[in-house]
Structure 1
Amino acid sequence: MVRSIKNPKKAKRKNKKGDESSSSSSIPSMPTKVWQPGVDKLGEEEELECDPTAYNSLHAFHIGWPCLSFDVVRDSLGLLRTDFPHTVYFVAGTQAEKPDWNSIGIFKVSNVSGKQRELVPSKTTAGDSDMDTDNSDSDEDSDDEEEGGSATPVLQLRKVAHRGCINRIRAMTQNPHICASWSDAGYVQIWDFSTHLNALAESETEVPRGGSSVFNQAPLFNFKGHKDEGYAIDWSPRVAGRLVTGDCKNCIHLWEPTSGATWNVDATPFTGHTASVEDLQWSSTEDHVFASCSVDGHIAIWDARLGKSPAIYFKAHNADVNVISWNRLASVMLASGSDDGTFSIRDLRLLSPKSQEEDKSLVAHFQYHKHPITSIEWSPHEASTLAVSSSDNQLT
């Protein structure tokens, strides 16, 4: 983000009579400065402006109502796609003004263009610098053509009616067309979006402005056993169809898939937290082990084979723990984000089942963000890289 003067009229202009170089429409240029969140303060006449050159690819779409949650739907186009243009499928749930106005969107964005940058700039000699300067304009033009920079991305969308706002939505890892949604009405539903995904895969027609028609579709399964609404939900990466869901009444329910596209949900919840369960994450190496975080400031590690109480329960932050992420490449690492803007990384091998013992698992603790952490996720390709988003409007 860069800073600019909000109202250029405040900058007084002086035009000398007879000065042909001056113009009444000219605006004095103001220096561009990088804005540092939490460090810099905006002046009364300043506002933030996005600098597109900071991004390899940046495109915006208007889809109607805001969405609190989305999830990328795995496709069959390949795992390591580095060359533009790109195609991505994802699902998102709306937060509409009235319950009946909500829907789940199944999206396809194709022809996503951008610029391919070198991670480490190549070194040039002094003689090459003049040549580079002379050819800079032509290089910039060719970059757009080579990387599809002048092309327009295509958004395709199909909507499925959903009563109530969608707090969280997740696509199953093994069968991405199967999605689970948490409603603010207090129930969890399982959906089969294969028809919509197939239709999007075969179509290249862009969605006209104003959206698309809404399909009325019955869910595969509907669970109303939670005592309150919730946000925590996660599919097992190891056992297809296995699911855990957590609510604002401190309860966690385990779902087991059965034949006939249905589920058995254990009516007896896992209990141990003293406040709302905010997020859940399955282990990437153990079929029956998962982690949870809560408004009570604690993280719990559960083993479904050992009963309904946590195997390990420890204080993770001094405020609400909003989100957690279990590293899929380094399975001993767990990251967590808090309401106080901090996020931490822990080595699960150093956790003790005895709560009274000193917690030695903390590997790193970051205090960069100034507002609540809203999402945290490890990279699926680099074990030491993670992304963190915050209410301070930053993604780091």
Structure 2
Amino acid sequence: MSKRMADEDNTGPLKAGGRPDAMDVDETPADMGEFEDEFEDEFESEDEIIEAGVDGRPDAEREAEEAMDVDNATPGTFIVGRTKLEPGQTLSPDPTTYRMLHNLSTPWPCLSFDIIRDGLGDNRTVYPATMYTVAGTQADSAKASDNSIMVMKFSGLSKMQGSDEDESSDDESDDEDADPILEHKSIPLNTTTNRIRVHQTPSQDPSKPPTTLTAAMTESTNVFIHDITPHITSFDTPGTIVTPQQNKPICTIRAHKSEGYAVDWSPLHAAGKLLTGDNDGLIYVTTRTDGGGFVTDTRPFQGHTSSVEEIQWSPSEASVFASASSDGTIRVWDVRSKGRKPALSMQVSDVDVNVMSWSRQTTHLLASGDDAGVWAVWDLRQWKPSAGAAAASSLQRPSPIASFNFHKEQITSVEWHPTDDSIVAVSAGDNTVTLWDLAVELDDEESKDTAGIQDVPPQLLFVHYQNLAKEVHWHPQIPGTLVATGEEFSIFRTISV
């Protein structure tokens, strides 16, 4: 089932590929320069923080009273995504739970974005932080010509006031009240970007930056590949001007006859190898040639009976990739297969499988998220090839090694932590981004302590409110930092990760 649109009255939930309502914004010039909001970093919290064990009473007496309080308070406990706000009530974040939190708006909401690795160093702990991203917009249908690819630089990302972490800042005083800055360069596109991904090819000249390519899967059915290296360079090189010629795509893939949401660059092909999947269930591979051009193999990979929602290359095997579909399956393929058929086909859900993430640390682990709000983790070593071509109704149904039904709306994004194979970030249509620690296991005593909150899995670390949450990515060079997109961009780091 195609997921192009939300309910006509815009009151129903959006599916993973659905489009959020366009924001009510003023007309904005194509090149806006900087965005600043002097109120973005002001938070208020009326939550009372009480430390246990400081009232001098015997532990048994205090613990008994606390248990009673939990039982009595549970019906009124607010759980994001579960509890409905009363008329006139609003949510505000508790700043004591964040190390960093910034929200920045763009002229139009973005369905998809990707983080660009930079030359500022790995494992950065310096504040204010700086990062680079690229996103595709979803302008109002009446203003489709306003759509663009936005190459962005976020800077001035300071840590929260009162943060006591042992991390340094560029300035001894660490101006925690400074407003973050969003600078951007626009590449006109005239169509909505459903999903966008970045690939970088190292330069043979150490003095030059890597070549940064983007692939945008669009509503127009075309896939546009751009070289955004000059756009990134222009942020930090005064006087640099991006020319109209540099805004043009270096390749347009026209193999697809329907739009799609699945696109991924191979991490093991330095020059560039791209997979794209569409709503017809077809997958194409495009390879960059030695001369710098691109060639698309016109023979599609076929096997899915409905739209391809997500594609990911194996992080360890150069010829292998996996795809997730609204037919409820995940299939594993080998590009060397002459028959263009999947090597493995597993029925992992009775509803659409919207998103998928392949662990970079433990490469036999795969996470998936579906339309019912369930996300699960699979051990690929347990998946066995079927004998012959199996019908969808008779496909194998493997058992996940972990499964969570906490979210009550569709899962819109899932991503493993880049260095910790037990931590996963998930976003969903219930306006939340959640962080999970799969290593958490409760013993019998701890299970008793959590009896009043059985609806919340112990592996749930954190819940972050994100209106119209669509995609979430870990920053690969700033430990524990996430960027999420929805109605606006949210950049945050919690004290729990």
Shorter-normalised TM range: 0.7 to 0.9
Q: Partner residue of 2:183? A: 156
Taking a change above 3 Å as real, the CA distance of residues 203 and 89 of structure 1, as seen in their structure-2 partners, is farther
Report the AA paired with residue 177 of structure 1: T
2:292 pairs with 1:261: yes
* Deviations 1:174-232, CA, capped at 9 Å, x for gaps: 45621111110010011001111001123599xxxxxx999562100001110101110
Q: Which residue identity is paired with 1:346?
A: W
> What letter corresponds to residue 424 of structure 2 in structure 1?
L
Using a 3 Å threshold, how does the CA distance of structure 1 residues 381 and 203 change in structure 2: closer, same or farther?
farther
> 215-224 or 195-204: which moved more?
195-204
Which moves more between the two structures, 325-334 or 166-175? 166-175
- Output aligned runs, 1:104-183, within 5 Å: 104-115=149-160, 116-118=163-165, 146-174=173-201, 175=210, 177-183=212-218
Task: Decide whether aligned partners of structure 1 residues 334 and 100 sit closer, same or farther in structure 2, where only a CA change above 3 A counts.
Answer: same
Match of residue 248 from structure 2: 218
Residue 277 of structure 2 corresponds to residue 234 of structure 1 = no
Deviation at 1:317, TM superposition (A): 1.2
Map of 2:354 onto structure 1: 322
Q: How many residues align?
A: 339
CA distance in 2, matches of 1:376, 1:286: 21
Asked whether the equivalents of residues 263 and 310 of structure 2 are also in contact (C-alpha less than 8 Å), the reply is yes
What SS does structure 2 have at the residue aligned with 1:322?
A: strand
- 1:80-119 superposed matches below 5 A: 80-97=123-140, 98-115=143-160, 116-118=163-165
Q: Which piece of structure 1 moves more, 342-351 or 148-157? A: 148-157
Aligned counterpart, 1:191 = 226
Q: Secondary structure at the match of 2:361?
A: coil
Offset, 1:34? 6.3
Residues 110-119 or 303-312, more deviating: 110-119
Counterpart for residue 383 of structure 2 = 351
1:230-273: CA deviation from partner (whole Å, max 9, x where unpaired): 11000000012011000011000011110232111110100000
Higher CA-based Rg: 1
In structure 2, what is the equivalent of residue 243 of structure 1? 274
Percent sequence identity over matched residues? 41
Q: TM-score, normalised by structure 1?
A: 0.80
Query: CA separation in 2, counterparts of 1:197 and 1:328?
Result: 26
SS in 2 for 1:306: coil
How far is 1:150 from its partner?
Answer: 2.3
Kindly indicate whether the alpha-carbon contact (under 8 Å) linking 2:347 and 2:398 is maintained by their aligned counterparts in 1: no
Within 2, Cα distance between the matches of 1:159 and 1:38? 34
Moved more, 155-164 or 291-300: 155-164
How far apart, CA to CA, are the structure 2 residues paired with 1:248 and 1:357? 21
Q: Look up the SS of the partner of 1:48 in the other structure.
A: coil
> Alpha-carbon deviation of 1:118?
4.8
Q: 1:45 to 1:99 in 2, by over 3 A?
A: closer
Deviation at residue 173 of structure 1 after TM alignment: 4.3
Q: Deviations over 1:14-61 (max 9, x none)?
A: xxxxxxxxxxxxxxxxxxx86203442322342323334432212222
Q: Which residue of 2 aligns with 1:387?
A: 425
The runs of 5 or more residues in structure 2 that have no matched partner are: 1-42, 47-75, 202-209, 435-497
CA deviation profile, 1:281-319 (whole Å, cap 9, x unmatched): 000110110000000000000011123000000111121
| In structure 1, distance between residues paired with 2:315 and 2:238 | 35
Q: 1:284: which partner in 2?
A: 315
Distance 1:2 1:112, change over 3 A: closer
Considering only aligned residues, what root-mean-square deviation do their CA atoms show, in Å?
2.7
1:273 aligns to 2:304 (yes or no): yes
The question of whether the paired residues in 1 share the 8 Å contact of 2:81 and 2:407 is answered with yes
Deviates more, 1:260-269 or 1:342-351: 260-269
- Contact 1:3/1:49 (CA < 8 Å) preserved in 2? yes
Taking the aligned partners of 2:243 and 2:93, their CA distance within structure 1 comes to 33
Aligned residue in 2 for 1:60: 103
Distance 2:90 2:323 in 1: 39
State the distance in 1 between where 2:329 and 2:304 align: 8
TM-score (norm 2): 0.64
* Contact 1:161–1:215 under 8 Å retained in 2: no
Residues 228/360 of structure 1: CA separation in 2 closer, same or farther (3 Å cut): closer
Contact between 2:347 and 2:396, CA under 8 Å: does it hold in 1?
no
TM superposition shift of 1:391: 0.6
Q: Comparing 354-363 with 331-340, which one deviates more in the overlay?
A: 354-363
Matches of 2:264 and 2:337, distance apart in 1: 20
| Aligned mates of 2:315, 2:261 — CA distance in 1 | 21
- 3-state SS of paired residue (1:199): helix
Contact 2:222 2:259 in 1 (8 A): yes
Paired residue type of 2:93: C
Aligned mates of 2:305, 2:44 — CA distance in 1: 43
Question: Contact between 1:238 and 1:284, CA under 8 Å: does it hold in 2?
Answer: yes
- Measure how far apart 1:2 and its partner are: 9.4
* Distance in 1, Cα, partners of 2:399 & 2:314: 17
Q: 2:364 aligned with 1:332, yes or no?
A: yes
Question: 8 Å contact 1:159–1:213 — kept in the other structure?
Answer: no
